[in-house]
């Protein structure tokens, strides 16, 4: 095992065993397995970070393929197969956990999103203009010191030099934010999605995601009541355990199609999860909105809270959910602030049907 793979493996074990942080442990172990995929012990530890029985079995089977004498993997596999046997009402087959090296087990390719070369070119031109401005400032400072070596009674040299240093730092940061993510590609498959960045690929199955946020808005800016220009924003964020793992915005080609496709694939999974949790008596959280058996509660704006029996009717109008209540003023919820929006609306449909 290489030193990097060993270090990542140890960090993963410590995160699981000592910090009780399965998400962090899974991340470190997956990175370690990228470097050393034949580490059977890492596959056993990885099985502790997933809750899906199929994925657990996939990890354990992979460990036994590498080392059939791994007693811990064999014991856990037998125990899990017994718990998920047909007699126990469980699953009958196991799907191997996808590795981070590719997406061969994610089904057929449905679509992809690459960075928009036109927007990238515009950003590069902006960097060039900024670089020219910084160089001009530097030349101006040199000329000023040449013709006014003693200054003009003010700390012009110090002020101008400080501005130049700040401009250089801003230019370097601006170039980094453009060049670093310039080779990102997202591929959407039937069973999951893969992201390739700087030659490294990371793939996830739809079941691994925990939330998706999509915000789209068009604003028309005016001057003296005359439309000047229209600004359209679109943001899609896919999360695992509150951490953003996928970002799609207007920098991508076909960004809206890609975000819509991801939302369509994840919506049934999120709704099924939410419905099971709701039926078991849990309260569901969608951002600052809590949904439970009593009704809808805004944890920050209590006057927006309402019970199911108080709802006369509701309607989705653009980015707003407008609720009309019996004998009480209606309330509006801004939908673009809510994760898993499709699941949220389906739950309301079910509760008010």
Q: What average pLDDT does the segment 147-170 reach? A: 65
Q: Which helix (H) or strand (E) holds 30?
A: helix 22-35
Q: What pLDDT is stored for residue 149 in this prediction?
A: 64
C-alpha span between 30 and 33 (Å, rounded): 5
Q: What average pLDDT does the segment 178-190 reach? A: 73
Does residue 104 register a pLDDT over 60? no
User: What are 183's two structure tokens?
Assistant: 């080779």
DSSP code for 39: -
Q: What average pLDDT does the segment 164-192 reach? A: 73
Query: Which pLDDT band holds residue 209 (cuts at 50, 70, 90)?
Result: very high
Nearest to 306 by CA among 285, 289, 318: 289
Q: What pLDDT is stored for residue 238 in this prediction?
A: 92
Task: Identify any residues that bridge with 220 across adjacent strands, giving them in sequence order.
Answer: 230
* Percent of the chain's residues with pLDDT above 90: 5
Q: What pLDDT is stored for residue 223 in this prediction?
A: 74
Q: What pLDDT is stored for residue 86 in this prediction?
A: 46
Q: What average pLDDT does the segment 81-105 reach? A: 46
Q: What average pLDDT does the segment 289-302 reach? A: 87
DSSP 3-state of 95 = coil
Q: CA torsion 28→32→35→38, rounded to 10°?
A: -150
Q: What average pLDDT does the segment 270-290 reach? A: 89
Query: Which pLDDT band holds residue 154 (cuts at 50, 70, 90)?
Result: low
Contact yes or no for 59/46 (Cβ under 8 A): yes
For the ranges 69-73, 121-125, 221-225, 339-343, the one whose mean pLDDT is highest: 339-343
Q: What is the mean pLDDT of the chain?
A: 78
Give the lowest-confidence range in 155-169, 234-248, 332-346: 155-169
Q: What pLDDT is stored for residue 99 in this prediction?
A: 37
Q: What average pLDDT does the segment 143-151 reach? A: 67
Nearest to 204 by CA among 174, 175, 238: 238
The residue assigned the tokens 């240093």 is 165
Q: What pLDDT is stored for residue 100 in this prediction?
A: 38
Q: What average pLDDT does the segment 311-321 reach? A: 82
For the ranges 173-177, 267-271, 295-299, the one whose mean pLDDT is highest: 267-271
Put simply, whether the predicted model's pTM sits higher than 0.75 gets the answer no
Nearest to 183 by CA among 196, 173, 194, 172: 196
How do residues 322-348 score in pLDDT, each as one tens digit? 888 888 888 888 877 788 888 888 888
Q: What pLDDT is stored for residue 206 in this prediction?
A: 92
C-alpha span between 122 and 127 (Å, rounded): 9
Q: What pLDDT is stored for residue 84 in this prediction?
A: 60
Does residue 285 register a pLDDT over 70? yes
Q: What pLDDT is stored for residue 93 in this prediction?
A: 35
Give the lowest-confidence range in 25-34, 167-176, 207-216: 167-176
Q: What pLDDT is stored for residue 90 in this prediction?
A: 40
Q: What average pLDDT does the segment 169-173 reach? A: 72
DSSP 3-state of 79 = helix
Distances (CA, A) of 283 to 165, 292, 297, 347: 52, 5, 10, 12
């Amino acid at each position: 095992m290489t030193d990097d793979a060993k270090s990542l493996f140890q960090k993963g074990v410590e995160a699981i065993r000592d910090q009780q942080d399965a998400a962090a442990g899974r991340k470190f172990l997956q990175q370690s397995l990228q470097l050393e995929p034949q580490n059977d012990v890492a596959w056993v530890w990885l099985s502790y970070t997933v809750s899906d029985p199929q994925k657990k079995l996939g990890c354990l089977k992979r460990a036994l393929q590498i080392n059939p004498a791994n007693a811990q993997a064999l014991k856990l596999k037998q125990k899990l197969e017994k718990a998920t046997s047909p007699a126990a009402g469980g699953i009958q087959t196991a799907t191997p956990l996808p590795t981070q090296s590719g997406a061969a087990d994610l089904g057929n390719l449905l679509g992809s999103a690459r960075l928009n070369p036109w927007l990238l070119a515009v950003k590069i031109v902006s960097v060039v203009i900024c670089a020219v401005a910084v160089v001009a400032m530097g030349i101006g400072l040199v000329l000023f010191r040449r013709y006014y070596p003693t200054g003009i009674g003010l700390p012009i040299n110090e002020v101008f030099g400080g501005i130049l240093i700040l401009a250089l730092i801003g230019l370097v940061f601006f170039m980094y934010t453009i060049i670093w993510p310039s080779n990102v590609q997202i591929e959407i498959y039937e069973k999951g999605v893969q992201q390739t960045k700087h030659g490294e690929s990371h793939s996830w199955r739809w079941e691994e995601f925990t939330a998706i946020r999509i915000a789209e808005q068009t604003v028309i800016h005016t001057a003296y009541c005359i439309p000047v220009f229209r600004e359209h924003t679109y943001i899609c964020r896919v999360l695992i355990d509150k951490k953003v793992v996928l970002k799609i915005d207007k920098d991508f080609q076909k960004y809206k199609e890609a975000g819509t496709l991801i939302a369509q694939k994840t919506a049934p999974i999120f709704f099924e999860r939410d419905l099971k949790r709701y039926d078991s008596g849990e309260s569901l959280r969608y951002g600052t909105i809590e949904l439970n058996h009593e009704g809808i509660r805004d944890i920050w704006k209590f006057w927006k809270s309402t019970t199911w029996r108080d709802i006369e009717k509701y309607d989705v109008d653009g980015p707003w959910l407008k609720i009309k209540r019996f004998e009480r003023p209606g309330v509006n919820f801004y939908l673009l602030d809510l994760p898993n929006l499709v699941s949220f609306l389906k739950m309301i449909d079910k509760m008010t049907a």
